[in-house]
A = this chain, B = another copy of it.
Amino acid sequence: MSRTEARTTLALPDRGEPLADRFRATRSLTESLLEPLSEADAIIQSMEDASPAKWHAAHTTWFWETFLLRDHLPGYRLFDEVYPFLFNSYYEAEGDRIARGRRGLISRPSLAEILGWRAHVNEAMDKLLPDPAHADLIRLGIAHEEQHIELLLTDIKHGFSMNALGPAMWDAPACRQPAQCEGWLEHPGGIARIGHQSDGFAFDNEGPAHRALLEPFALSRRLVTNGEWDDFISDGGYDDHRLWLSDGWEWVKREGIAAPLYWREGEQFTHAGWRERDPDAPVAHISYFEADAFASWAGARLPTEFEWEAIARGQDHPGFDSLAGNQLNEAAPPLPAGTGELFGDCWQFTQSAYLPYPRFRPAKGAVGEYNGKFMAGQWVLKGASCATVRGHSRPSYRNFFYPQQRWQFTGLRLAQDR
Q: Which residues of A contact B (CB under 8 A)?
A: 38-46, 54, 82, 85-86, 90, 92-93, 98, 102, 104-111, 159-160, 162-165, 167, 191, 210-213, 215, 241-242, 244-249, 288-289, 292, 351-353, 355-356, 358-359, 368, 373-377, 403, 417
Known interface pairs A42-B40, A165-B82. Does A376 touch B108 (Cβ–Cβ under 8 Å)? no
Could you tell me if A215 and B90 are in contact, using CB atoms closer than 8 angstroms? no
| A242 and B92 contact, Cβ closer than 8 Å, known pairs A107-B163, A109-B165, A164-B86 | yes
Determine if B105 and A162 form an interchain contact, defined as CB atoms under 8 angstroms apart.
yes
A255 → B minimal CB distance (Å): 15
Q: How far is the CB of A125 from chain B (nearest CB, A)?
A: 25
By the criterion CB–CB under 8 Å, are A108 and B213 in contact? no
Q: Which of B54, B246, B417 contacts A376 (CB 8 A)?
A: B246
| Alpha-carbon gap, A351 to B353, bound state (A) | 11
Chain B minimum-CB-distance residue to A97: B164
A-B interface, 7 closest residue pairs, ranked by CB to CB distance from nearest:
A353-B353, A39-B39, A40-B107, A213-B213, A92-B241, A41-B107, A246-B373
Asked, given contacts A39-B40, A40-B43, A417-B359, whether A375 binds B108 with beta carbons under 8 Å apart, the answer is no
Give chain B nearest CB distance to A354 CB in angstroms.
9
- Can you name 29 A-B residue pairings with CB atoms under 8 Å? A38-B107, A39-B39, A40-B40, A40-B42, A40-B107, A40-B108, A43-B107, A44-B107, A45-B104, A46-B105, A82-B165, A90-B246, A92-B249, A105-B159, A105-B162, A105-B163, A106-B163, A107-B160, A108-B163, A108-B165, A108-B167, A191-B213, A210-B215, A245-B374, A246-B376, A351-B355, A352-B355, A376-B403, A377-B403
